[in-house]
Amino acid sequence: MTRVDSAGKSAVCRLFVLDLSGGRILSMNPDGSERKVIITECRHPDGVAVDAEAGHIYWTNMGVPNWGDGSIERANLDGLERTTIVPEGSTFTPKQLHLDKKNRKLYWSDREGMRVMRSNLDGSNIETLVERGRGDTDRKDVLRRCVGIALDIEREQFYWTQKGPDKAGQGRIFRASTEMPEGQTPSTRSDIEVLYDGLPEPIDLQLDLSNRMMYWTDRGNPPFGNTVNRAPMDCDLATRQAPEILVSHLMEGIGLALDLMNGRMFFTDLGGSIYSSRLDGSDKKVLHEMQGNLTGIAFVELAEQC
């Protein structure tokens, strides 16, 4: 798909999708056409982010959860010049990934590491922003595991999900400042807000900053689980309304990407399907089926020469 902006310049829109079971990264048009495999032999890829201006794709490799051998890689958009920027052992089980291009940072949730982390775009200066537990005993408590992540750079805040046990309805969404409160640590910081609790199993998270709305995929039991949801970003836990369910009947929903300019979203499930819909969930379409076990998805506008 090619879009012409207000300056008369054209841009090519692409989707980048991760196949967990096949260890692959796929690229395609937003209607599912021109699908191709650009990267292979990934170690359980889960989160993906694209820097169109720099011509780079970043992704997390979960590795083997009990081994703590997760990593983050980067490549050109055609899959060439692949390099590991966060080596195995520097993060435990990295999940969703987001770019802060303004400050040249990567943010990710580390599931079995029970952390939210960030680094420079080249993988240097790795920091832990939130630590929900430490060691093998804490690691057995799935309530501590961090999964999805999203950024509000202008307000200097990050958001993340904690999935909780399978089908237990104990999932939560949190928010905190990108800057550590003075004198505090990742495990003691006092600025963490709980925005939503009692969710089925919130996974990937995206923000519509203009309308102050957050969108997320949720696994777990129907009717509330295996859905795409949205809710206000600035809600009060005591008075908030229930999230709005936009799409249901997914086969273990995971990845989520927003195309706010065109009022649509794209999402994936472990059943191997890629979908599109309007932001309100209407006009749902299946772009591909039986593509493996799909996890992360990214939507991006590329310069036409790409």
Residue 49 has pLDDT above 50, yes or no: yes
Which pLDDT tens digit goes with each residue over 276-294?
Answer: 999 999 999 999 999 999 9
pLDDT score at 236: 78
pLDDT score at 229: 98
Residue 34 has pLDDT above 80, yes or no: yes
* Residues spanned by the domain of 188: 2-303
Q: Could you give the number of structural domains in the chain?
A: 1
User: Which amino acid appears at position 261 of this protein?
Assistant: M
What is the DSSP annotation of 192-203?
A: -EEEEEEESEEE
Mean of pLDDT values over 91-119 = 97
Which pLDDT tens digit goes with each residue over 140-177?
Answer: 999 999 999 999 999 999 999 999 988 889 999 999 99
pLDDT score at 306: 36
Cis (ω within 30 of 0) for the bond into 200?
no
CATH number for position 78: 2.120.10.30
pLDDT score at 303: 65
pLDDT score at 235: 80
Contact criterion met (CB below 8 Å) for 189 and 181: yes
pLDDT score at 44: 96
Task: Return the bridge partners of 26, or none.
Answer: 17, 37
**Which residue in the block uniquely carries the two structure tokens 């490799």?**
61
Q: Give the confidence band of 305 by pLDDT, cuts at 50, 70, 90.
A: very low
User: Which amino acid appears at position 177 of this protein?
Assistant: S
pLDDT score at 168: 87
Which pLDDT tens digit goes with each residue over 4-22?
Answer: 444 445 578 999 999 999 9
**Mean pLDDT over the full length of the chain:** 93
Secondary structure of 268-299 as H, E, C letters: EECCCCEEEEECCCCCCEEEECCCCCEEEEEE
Tell how far CA 123 is from the center of its chain.
18
Which pLDDT tens digit goes with each residue over 207-250?
Answer: 999 999 999 999 988 889 999 999 999 987 778 889 999 999 99
Residue 304 has pLDDT above 90, yes or no: no
Residue 2 has pLDDT above 60, yes or no: no
- Specify the higher pLDDT residue, 85 or 225: 85
Mean of pLDDT values over 129-146 = 95
